């Protein structure tokens, strides 16, 4: 079987797949790099913005 080239559906699947993973990666790194200390120490004793609200530890 010889295809004549990149079909429309192949281009769509390829484009959407590659775009999604690229956007996800870029977004992740943008979030990380926009926070202070991304290239400094990892240890952070404070709570993060996504932390569960409410009292810590056992209820």
Q: Would you tell me which residues interact with another protein (CB under 8 A)?
A: 1-7, 9-14, 16-18, 20-22, 24-25, 27-29, 31-33, 35, 37-52, 57-58
- Distance of closest approach, residue 1 Cβ to another protein, in angstroms: 6
Helix (H, G, I), strand (E, B) or coil at 18: helix
- Distance of closest approach, residue 46 Cβ to another protein, in angstroms: 7
CA terminus-to-terminus distance, the chain: 64
Query: Does an H or E element contain 34, and which?
Result: none
- Distance of closest approach, residue 49 Cβ to another protein, in angstroms: 6
Which single residue is written with the structure tokens 């192949």? 10
């Amino acid at each position: 079987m010889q295809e004549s080239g990149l079909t429309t559906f192949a281009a769509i699947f390829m484009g959407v797949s590659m775009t999604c993973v690229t956007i996800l990666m870029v977004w992740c790194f943008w979030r990380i790099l926009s926070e202070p200390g991304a290239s400094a120490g990892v240890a952070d004793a404070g709570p993060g913005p996504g932390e569960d609200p409410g009292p810590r530890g056992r209820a």
